[in-house]
Chain A
Amino acid sequence: MSAAPETPFAALRGQLHEAAAEFAGGGDALEGILLGMVDDVDRAAGEPLEIFPVCHHSPASALAMARRLREKQPKVVYLELCEDMAPLLTELRNCRLPVAVQAFAGDIDGFPADWAPLSVVAPITEASAEYQAIAYALDTPGVELVLVDRSSDHVFQWDTRHDRSGAPDGTDGDTAAPAGAAGTAAPATKAAEAEAALHGEAVGVEIGDLRPRFAELEEHLLRHGKVRHWSEWWHQYVEVPLGDSDHDTYRQVMFLIGSLFRRLAPGDGDRVRVDEDRERYMWTRMREHLTATGTDPADCLYVCGAFHAASRVDEFGVDGTTGADGTTGFTISPRTATTWQYGLIPSSHTAIEAQFGLAAGSVSIAATQWAKNLKRTRVKPYRLEGQAGAKKPAPTKTAAKAAVPVVPVGAEDRLSGFLRRPPVVDTLDEAELLGWSVDIVRAARRSGYLASTADAIAVFETSILLAGMRDRAKPTPYDFQDAAVTCIEKDSVPGRRDVRRLVEIMMGGDRIGQVGYDALPPLARDVYDRLAPLALNLEQRGVRRALLDMASEPDLRACSDVLWMLRRLMPPGAARPIMGERRLGERSIQESWDLSLGTHQRALIELGYEGVSLEQVLEQRLRRTAYGPQATTAQVLAAVEDATLYLGGRRLAEELGTRALEVLAAERTVDGAPEVLRRVRGLLAYYRTSEAVLPPWIESFVRTGYAHYCTLLPTAFRDEDATAGQVAAMLGFLFSMESLALSLGCDRTQLELSVAQSHPQDPAKTALLWAAQVQLGTLSRAELRARCDELLGNPLVVPSYPRYLSGFVHALEPVPGLADVVVEAVSNAFGRLPDAVLLPWLPVLITTLRSNATELAPLLIREAGRIFPARLAALDAWVPPWRQQPVALAAARTRPDSTAPGGVALLPAHPETCDALAELLGCADGWEPAGTASRRPSLTDRHPDTARAVAALLAGA
């Protein structure tokens, strides 16, 4: 590159040399920087392969690009974009921009496992230079588009952020951290937040990131430019002056800016290394391509960020350092074994701004500016044929026109002229400003502000005054925003949006892209196809309400199946059932759903990377859960349940069920016992009602489970880590599955033995053991009561009584018949325990009951309701049944032969009615009292009032 002609910039060099000498004494860093910048420009401009420097979201870049492409008609376009994304670009025409090209890897190989899933997005807007290049190259026959930047795989290979701190730190080269990361612009409203998160967790890559690399420089530029945001500075100091400048000026100025930011950067080694590696990578690729195809470098155009155009790596240029064999010294490292999936996902201006740390609204303003520039300059932009969302179809292009003779590049010094020119001031566009002022007042009125024409006038006036204070004739959109806020915003915001947001919306608002049907992965298309009977436009954003009446339209059952699977697989909110539910053995006949698939298009597309149909993806995910190294029995059973619910058919359910069996057999803890019990119960109930015979796997599961839990029971009783709840669940499994297990060949002796072996030390578990013994019949209820009484009577044990009680409460699960004893025990506790023991225990009781609210509480409450008096009045005379019992028993025992017919005392005493009835029925024998002589006074004798009253009544009648 040293062969670059010395002449063009000699004058400029001389001037800068003088300047450096005057301001800094010469021969120091300043001169190095100033002259180095000219060297950079010189070098880039003199490169035989035309370099086209761009800046992202710069309408001037896009315009210059469109102009240059029309003029030069290059045969090959090299673009700074991940090379592996190339096949997807043609699908852009099926989408409404902005969309992002995504590379996604769920299963990673060669990266640390905790990085998964990896995702890279490259958002593409219509007002960008790269879109111009893509549209030109794809729609012009004979033109080749070559992406030359490192692959998505290398983005992560070279990513040093993970090594450093683990936390992404904003931007890195042209890559940007996920939108959610700290340091990105904070969106104003919640809605905007949702839109800003459109890219999810992906790492963003963008062409032409051009921004000062050190904060002080940016701050300095902003302060002296009297602007608030970088985008605003760029617009005022680069965009406007470059406006209609010719190609050479454009290039040289962009080279200069790129070089400036490159030279005035702090020495962040990692970042510089990645940048330089990328430049080496790109030049290596381009040279490879040139050698392979034999293309003349003069017929090519290399589109890259201005920052990279000012590169100083050895590989720079067609004639850069080459090895002996004609290749460069830079070897591209091989990709890892990770399989990458590619797709297009919807993007939005807000998402781009959030991801790349741009000012809110800047991308929208750029889009508006682009449209205005097109109108003003009458440049015909390139647009992919059949571009979705385009107003009119782009004119069909014929073969490349005979290219205009290529202007010898970098021949003249356009820089000096540009730098010497007085600052270009955008002239006041009164009509436009008036239009804005009227529009914002109208918009403000619509959102509840008391704004009037007077405000429009004030906004207009204030905008001009503000712009004047900030040294510009034409108010920028940001000046206008300030003016509108000053004049219209009062002490409170009447509606949903404040004036600031209204201006943002007015200036173009957010535009959200959409991936067209044809560009979707097969799974997403399949979903849309299968939901077609709902007759809803699900591709549109927003919530759609779907009503499914399966009774009248059985066809909709298939749709319902799809929706339930979507609910299982997609993020919450994508498909939300309003009415109807699906549980084992239950299917609603009517369902209504809130669907927002359009809003969650990215999630649907990412689902498409996993398989070709929902069923396949679901099956894969269930398998992955079930066969994962950390899978527990409960999780596998949940997978079985999901397989039965969503996929139907018994194949997968059986396979997973068998897997559950394996996992259970290998489990050595009882942590999951409660969940296992719940799930198995549910599945058993389902199979019993819906299938003629139980599936073999569940039979063996019960059998194995019975043996398994019998084996573990003594250990669990002693194990300090096993909670009472877990032991209760084990017992629950054993007792409630007992009959089935015994019918399948299990032996009850095993259970009896294991209970006999159990010697818990924990009071709660002891109580559980007693309950189990009662259930097994080795302990009578009377004995159990006596033990409880003993506990209460022994002052040494009283403090631990509550823990016994906790055990009893848990025992309701395996031995629900013990409810009355539990109520008694609890009542006794309340009645007899000292407060110091009772009160600390109460929260424990409440939390236990609450955590098992569905099963235990109703049981206990019902039993308590049966035992305790229902009315307050009855309470005084109430004696708890357990206190009565001894008396009742004694009474029963003192009545050796119950000759007295307990309930028929009234009849023998007053036989008249009965006799009369008998007579009517034709039985004239009359009443024969039996053994009345030996009877004790009857009930009526003791309480004669009722009878007398009835008699009086009858007599009266």
Chain B
Amino acid sequence: MSELLRAPAEIKYAEELDWLESIDDNPKPFSWRLSPKMVRLFVLGSERADGLDREVAQKWFGDRSIVERSIVTLASDRGLLLIGDPGTGKSWLAELLAAAISRNSTLVVQGTAGTTEDHIKYSWNVSMVIAKGQSRESMIPSPIMTAMESGTIGRFEELTRSTSDVQDALISILSEKYVSVPELESDGGGDNIVFAKPGFSIIATANSRDRGVNDLSSALKRRFNFVRIPVVTNKKSEAEIVRFRTEELLRRHQIDLDVPPTLLDVLLQSFADLRASSAAAGSDDEKLESALSTAEQIGVLEDAVLHSNFFGERALTARTLAASLVGSLARREPEDLAILNKYLHGVVEPRGKEEGGSWPEFLEGGREAIAKLA
């Protein structure tokens, strides 16, 4: 495990999943490895009242009903489309669900402008085709087809980034649940058709900021249940998420560095302020380009931690945090910088005078960073 930069969920939590599977006596749909209730427990963590012998940590933070709706959708006939702003944890939830249900979260197709139908269905091993002709052996199945064959969950990341003809290839997979291979001759045994086994489903994710790039056709929409993942605005659970993810990242980078709670508060508060100002902004020019998601916060914090670890005094300071915040959020030259400048002087400065704490240092750091960028 230590040899992997980032282990997929099923490897990372393999032991926990094994244990859950061993105690799970609820009915399981299809070929699911865990029952829906256990999947929920795996994702949302256990409580004392669940009466388990060991504690299961919460892995995804958000509304309970979102997880329930997602699990139930996978148990039904339809695919699951997680939609939301970037950085709201869509892919992480998809990974956790796939890992819990089929112990394989790596059957992923990444949707891009260059994704073709081959990436969803199958392609050919050209040298084998030359040597042996077209046959099942010379066929290279796509992750989705592999999932169909094995009755597991396939994942499609950023569905709306791929072009509509590629998207539409999913329609037949989701409704007929088979892929025909016309290149192969039918010998009556259905050899030129790949059927999906029970348990197959698709979890797709889509970025709501990409709306209008490649809109889903209504036929495809009909085959997906949409579950909208909101940006976490509850400060308490956001703090929880940031702490959880940062700890994980620090462990991965093998960095031994403390994140002082006051600085975490500063980070959360500044994001909350910036979100409020974005919500109040009239035009796009008045709001930051960034979606100000929780993932972005984690990014800012990680950046600051790495910076202080390798270039600083091995302790996180408000100054570094501010520099990292400005660095991550200023994407458009005049607009974003102007907004951050306004924020620093209009909100942080008075707060620093009033409350003191880390805010004055935060302000200093922010000013310096802006001065460098401007």
Contacts and interface: CB of A to CB of B under 8 A. Distances in A.
Contact of B72 (A224, A450, A469, A492): A469
Contacts of A491: 83, 206, 208, 211, 216, 221, 226
Contacts of B36: 465, 468-469
B78 interface: yes
Interface in A189-211: none
A486 B72 contact: yes
B225 to A, nearest CB: 5
Contacts of B77: 458, 461
B221 A486 contact: no
A492 B212 CA distance: 12
Nearest to A466: B72
B227 interface: yes
Contacts of A482: 65, 68-69
Interface string B35-60: 01100100000010100000000000
Contacts of A452: 222
B225 A470 contact: no
Interface in B218-258: 218, 221-222, 225-228
Interface string A624-640: 00000000000000000
Given A458-B77, A466-B69, A224 B225 contact: no
Nearest to B27: A468
A487 interface: yes
Contacts of B68: 466, 469-470, 482
Contacts of B269: none
B76 A458 contact: yes
A465 B218 CA distance: 25
Contacts of B37: 469
A439 interface: no
Interface residues of B, number: 27
A948 interface: no
A486 B73 contact: yes
A324 to B, nearest CB: 54
A688 interface: no
Contacts of A458: 76-78, 225
A692 to B, nearest CB: 58
B321 interface: no
Contacts of B49: 224
Give the interface size bracket for A toward B.
Answer: 20 to 34
B71 interface: yes
A147 B272 CA distance: 50
Contacts of A465: 36, 72, 75-76
Contacts of A273: none
B210 to A, nearest CB: 11
Given A458-B78, A465-B76, A469-B72, A228 B225 contact: no
Contacts of B216: 491
A486 B69 CA distance: 7
Contacts of B218: 450
A466 B83 CA distance: 20
A920 interface: no
Nearest to B223: A454
Contact of A487 (B47, B71, B78, B228): B78
In terms of DSSP, what is the predominant structure of the interface of chain A?
helix
A91 interface: no
A340 to B, nearest CB: 43
A487 B216 CA distance: 16
B146 to A, nearest CB: 26
A462 to B, nearest CB: 5
Interface string B263-298: 000000000000000000000000000000000000
A465 B65 CA distance: 13
Contact of B40 (A454, A469, A485, A487): A469
A228 B63 CA distance: 11
A71 interface: no
A483 B75 CA distance: 13
Residue of B75, B208, B221 with most partner-chain A CB within 10 A: B75
Interface in B129-172: none
A84 interface: no
A542 B68 CA distance: 41
Contacts of B225: 458, 462, 486-487
A335 interface: no
A372 interface: no
Interface string A445-482: 00000101011001001100110111000000000001
Q: Which of A224, A450, A462: most chain B CB closer than 10 A? A: A462
Contacts of A490: 221, 226
A159 interface: no
B71 A462 contact: no
Nearest to A463: B72
Nearest to B65: A482
Contact of B76 (A224, A462, A469, A485): A462
A465 B228 CA distance: 19
A489 interface: yes
Contacts of A462: 69, 72-73, 76, 225
A4 B209 CA distance: 69
B208 to A, nearest CB: 7
Contacts of B40: 469
Contacts of A454: 222
Contacts of B221: 450, 490-491
A450 B222 CA distance: 8
Interface string B196-215: 00000000001010010000
Given A228-B65, A469-B40, A491-B208, A486 B227 contact: yes
A491 B65 CA distance: 18
A494 to B, nearest CB: 11
A470 B71 CA distance: 12
Contacts of B71: 469
Nearest to A228: B65
Given A228-B65, A490-B221, A491-B216, A461 B226 contact: no
B199 to A, nearest CB: 15
A454 B206 CA distance: 23
A461 B76 contact: yes
A490 B226 CA distance: 5
A454 B78 CA distance: 11
A482 B69 CA distance: 7
A189 to B, nearest CB: 18
Candidate in A224, A455, A469, A487 with the most chain B CB atoms within 10 angstroms = A469
Q: B65, B78, B211, B218 — which one has the most chain A CB atoms within 10 A of its CB?
A: B65
B190 to A, nearest CB: 26
Contacts of B69: 462, 466, 482-483, 485-486
A462 B77 CA distance: 10
A232 to B, nearest CB: 12
Contacts of A223: 47
Nearest to A489: B226
Contacts of A487: 78, 225
Nearest to B221: A490
A228 B68 CA distance: 13
A462 B71 CA distance: 10
A378 B195 CA distance: 54
A482 B208 CA distance: 21
A224 B50 CA distance: 9
A593 to B, nearest CB: 35
Nearest to A455: B222
Interface in B3-43: 36-37, 40
23 contacts: A228-B65, A450-B218, A458-B77, A461-B76, A462-B225, A465-B75, A465-B76, A469-B37, A469-B40, A469-B72, A482-B68, A483-B69, A486-B69, A486-B72, A486-B73, A486-B225, A486-B226, A486-B227, A489-B226, A489-B228, A490-B221, A491-B206, A491-B226
7 closest A-B pairs (Cβ-Cβ)?
A465-B72, A486-B69, A486-B225, A490-B221, A490-B226, A466-B72, A450-B218
Given A450-B218, A490-B221, 11 more contacts: A224-B49, A452-B222, A454-B222, A465-B76, A466-B69, A466-B72, A483-B69, A489-B226, A491-B83, A491-B211, A491-B226
